[in-house]
Amino acid sequence: MSASPTARLKQLVPYAIAIAALAWILHKTDLNAFAAALKQAPIALFVLFSLFMLLLNCAADTYAMATVFSWFGCRVPYRELFVVRASTYLVAIINYHVGQAAIISYLFKVRKMAFLRSSGVILFIIGVNVGTIFLLASAGALRVPPHLRVLKLIPPVCVVGCVLYAAVLTWRPQFLAERKLLGPLFEMGIAGHAKGVLVRLPHVACLLVWHFFSLRMFHIRVSPLDALLYLPMYFAVAAMPINVNGLGVAQQVAITFFAPFAEPPGAADPATQRAMVLAYSLATVGISLLLQFVLGFACIRRATALGASVSSAKREKTTA
């Protein structure tokens, strides 16, 4: 069945926002300074380091996922899950949720976990991922510049959201608790969600290390403390639906946060600093997408043989 016009419009809105944001940012950027920033960066070293960190990131992501699966009585061989998780990078470039559907298919077909329960476990993992990033971003939000003061709403929104969510987990309203899809969330409870955040921290740490040293390679001398404060905020904005694969409004946020730390040759020039941060941001997004594509393509055949099939997940969803 084809999607309705309203559904198609909703799918196109993030792309429209991202394209408009990037067009405005590029219009305001000195493209000669942007090209110079790319030339001055050690691109070969940057690519090799990014490849290493992507593999380490996937390993940490797989560890967190395998740990969560074990909490639900589903023990998965680490090497097998690594291949499945890496393969989802390929389809996630187009649609993140399609990648998650492949993992659900693997849990259902290979690990014999009920479809709705598998979906609930993945929902728990996604929620913990997003929650971890936004909780860390709350610290950086307290130091945003005046013209981004709207981001200061993130800490109170996170606090209110956590309190309400904890209340629901404790209260366990019947109309929610009896749903099989939400069952894993209530099983984990507040303590289980806290454990989920802890096992997710190595994955977040990989992202922080990668971006910190990438900033340095582009001659943006951000301090470790400022990186720890601002990078989670950058990640949080990049994860919002006003971006597509990290492209869009996230670049303007990166410029706002990190331009003051850029050290161009000679005297500090705001236009050059802006171009340097944009070069860093687009380079990290670009190399990430490229390497995810290569890693996903390398693993997709083996993962499909293991049962990580997007098409079968969609079929089971209609019959569940």
Segment 220-256, tens digit of pLDDT: 999 998 898 899 989 988 888 788 888 888 999 899 8
Q: What is the pLDDT at residue 266?
A: 61
Residue 310: band (very low, low, confident or very high) from pLDDT cuts 50, 70, 90: low
Q: Name the pLDDT band for 318 (thresholds 50, 70, 90).
A: very low
Distance from C-alpha of 224 to C-alpha of 226, rounded to nearest angstrom: 6
* Average pLDDT for 131-146: 82
d(CA 1, CA 99): 21
- What does the mean pLDDT of the chain come to? 88
Tens digits of per-residue pLDDT, 171-223? 999 999 999 999 999 999 999 999 999 999 999 999 999 999 999 999 999 99
Does residue 204 contact residue 132 with C-beta atoms inside 8 Å?
A: yes
Tokens 């990131």 map to which residue?
57
In degrees, rounded to 5, the angle at the alpha carbon of residue 217 between the alpha carbons of residues 213 and 220 is: 85
Task: Supply the pLDDT for residue 309.
Answer: 60
Residue extents of the structural domains in the chain: 31-319
Residue 141 dihedral angles phi and psi, to the nearest 5°: -65, -25
45-98: pLDDT as tens digits: 999 999 999 999 999 999 999 999 999 999 999 999 999 999 999 888 877 777
Instruction: Look at residue 315 and tell me whether its pLDDT is greater than 70.
Output: no
Angstrom distances, CA of residue 114 to CA of 84, 108, 258: 18, 6, 46
Q: What is the pLDDT of residues 257-301, one digit of tens each?
A: 999 999 886 657 889 999 999 999 999 999 999 999 999 999 988
What 3-state DSSP class applies to 244? strand
